[in-house]
Amino acid sequence: MMNLNAAPKQFASPDNFEIVDTEMTPIAERRSAKSPAPRRTVGFITAASIVIANIIGTGIFTSLGFQLADIQSGFPLLMLWVIGGAAALCGALCYGELSAALPRSGGEYHFLSQIYHPALGFMAGFVSATVGFAAPIALAAMAFGKYLNGVLGFGSPVFLSFAVVWLVALFHLKNLRVGSAFQNLSTLVKLVLIVALIVAGFFVHPKQPISFLPAPGDNMSIFGASFAVALVYVMYSYSGWNAAVYITGEIKQPEKNVPRSLLVGTCVVILIYVLLNAIFLATTPAQELKGQLEVALIAGKHIFGASGGRAAGAVICLGLVSAISSMTWIGSRVSMSMGEDHWLLRMLGRKNPHGIPTNSIVLQLLIVNLLLLTRSFESVVQYTQFSLLLCSLFTVLGVIVLRTTRPEIARPYRVWAYPLPPIIFAVITLWMMFYLLLSKTAESLAGVATALLGLLLYFCARKRSHRPL
């Protein structure tokens, strides 16, 4: 799935296939002959910064409260972020090999189409174009409503959530986009806030009576169902771990810098996430955080005082608006591309005279509103993560499949310590999906239904393409 601070990086614009007569023909093969190769201007530092900026989003400011519902011990709470980071790193390294071996845009849409079958690629693209972007927008809007309510001290969080997505959508419909300078500035400010929270947290006294060393019963807790379900929120917080693979063609010495940027960027985020959650737990009573969405605001008031906590909440709101804006823009372009490639979705491919995909933006807005009506942050995460984890699982296992079926392909970068990274990612992902299906059956089956709907639409489109003209 997904970083809420920027467009979800697991998915890129699915522009690789269109239905022509009776076959799915790769558009990219015809485009590549005409388009010049992108200039390699991105160095290692910039690539690692992109990974860090894309991972750190809403999740780190919202997840801890839901994890505390079933886990109270400090050691397993921090191990959630270590294990989640390890899974993210393994997945990122696998995506790095695929992007080097199959260097075209499209993310899972392209990878799954090439490795398995165009039907699976279309399914992944459909998940991305519908809930893949709409859900993170809804989650960011829910967090925005809670945080702004905490900052102002009045106003309905639900109303504020609806208001922000409608205002942002109207800006995009009128071609008034939030500039890249705002995106970069909000990310920088957010990183400064995180460092300030961590540093200031060390000087807060007295500390809460919580230990981060292993305690009796922690091992059982780590291998239990509650831990696996809580890990779903952590993976949502780590979404964006594959950010650098989508700009492989622009990175200098990609065979070295792509895996290095993924390794360094993800390790830096793991350290930040572990330290920040430790500070939250050490400075704020667990009962105040338990079940709450705005954990950073609550902890910020304990660290900086009431006024300082509100200021921290205001900064987070700024970052959330930036995330909602970027996802509204890119998410609608994903569904627009699918509309251009497939007759069944052609309504989504239409643009107004200013080149704005109005239908795609409106459809995405409607899906966001439906998700907001659930008023459940937990349910939306569980629903979307199951289908997104499914797509990521197929993609990561595709490294093994592609090495077996097409060993002749040039691979400028190969996964380190192969085959351990894809196996580790698959084991952790299947473990999460198994317990998520058992404990959150309705949400998980809804995610499966979304993926199956994508498959159904693919075969409907293919059946139409076989009809005689």
Taking only the tens place, the pLDDT of each residue in 373-413 is 887 777 888 888 888 889 899 999 999 999 999 998 888 77
| Closest to 125 (Cα-Cα) out of 394, 432, 322, 306 | 394
Contacts of 339 (CB under 8 A, 6+ apart): 345, 346, 347, 348, 349, 350, 357, 359, 360
| Closest to 99 (Cα-Cα) out of 425, 409, 442, 432 | 409
- What is the distance between the alpha carbons of residues 87 and 425, in angstroms, rounded to a whole number? 5
Tokens of 222: 């780590």
**CA geometry: angle 24, 28, 29, nearest 5 deg:** 85
- How crowded is residue 398: how many other Cβ atoms within 10 Å of its Cβ? 25
Q: How far is CA 443 from CA 144, 377, 448, in A?
A: 23, 12, 9
Burial class (CB in 10 A: 0-12, 13-18, 19+), 29: exposed
Ranked by mean pLDDT, the top range of 184-198, 247-261, 335-349 is: 184-198
- What is the distance between the alpha carbons of residues 86 and 77, in angstroms, rounded to a whole number? 15
Answer yes or no: are the C-beta atoms of 55 and 235 closer than 8 Å.
Answer: no
- What is the distance between the alpha carbons of residues 350 and 131, in angstroms, rounded to a whole number? 20
Burial class (CB in 10 A: 0-12, 13-18, 19+), 376: middle
Using pLDDT thresholds of 50, 70 and 90, give the confidence band for residue 357.
confident
Does the domain at residues 43-128+179-319+389-456 carry the CATH identifier 1.20.1740.10?
yes
Q: What is the mean pLDDT of the chain?
A: 78
Buried b (16+ CB within 10 A) or exposed e, 210-233: eebeeeeebeebbeeebbbbbbbb
User: Could you tell me the residue ranges of all domains in the chain?
Assistant: 43-128+179-319+389-456
Q: In 358-455, at which residue ranges do the beta strands (DSSP E only) sit? A: none
In this prediction the pTM is 0.76
| Closest to 331 (Cα-Cα) out of 358, 355, 360, 354 | 360
Using pLDDT thresholds of 50, 70 and 90, give the confidence band for residue 104.
low
Mean pLDDT for 263-278 is: 88
The whole-number pLDDT of residue 186 equals 64
- What is the distance between the alpha carbons of residues 370 and 387, in angstroms, rounded to a whole number? 18
- What is the distance between the alpha carbons of residues 128 and 9, in angstroms, rounded to a whole number? 10
Q: How far is CA 35 from CA 26, 114, 248, in A?
A: 15, 21, 16
The whole-number pLDDT of residue 32 equals 40
Strand partners, 23: 20
Using pLDDT thresholds of 50, 70 and 90, give the confidence band for residue 15.
very low
Mean pLDDT for 350-368 is: 78
Mean pLDDT for 171-195 is: 67
| Closest to 441 (Cα-Cα) out of 229, 125, 134 | 229
DSSP 3-state assignment of 3? coil
- What is the distance between the alpha carbons of residues 128 and 111, in angstroms, rounded to a whole number? 14
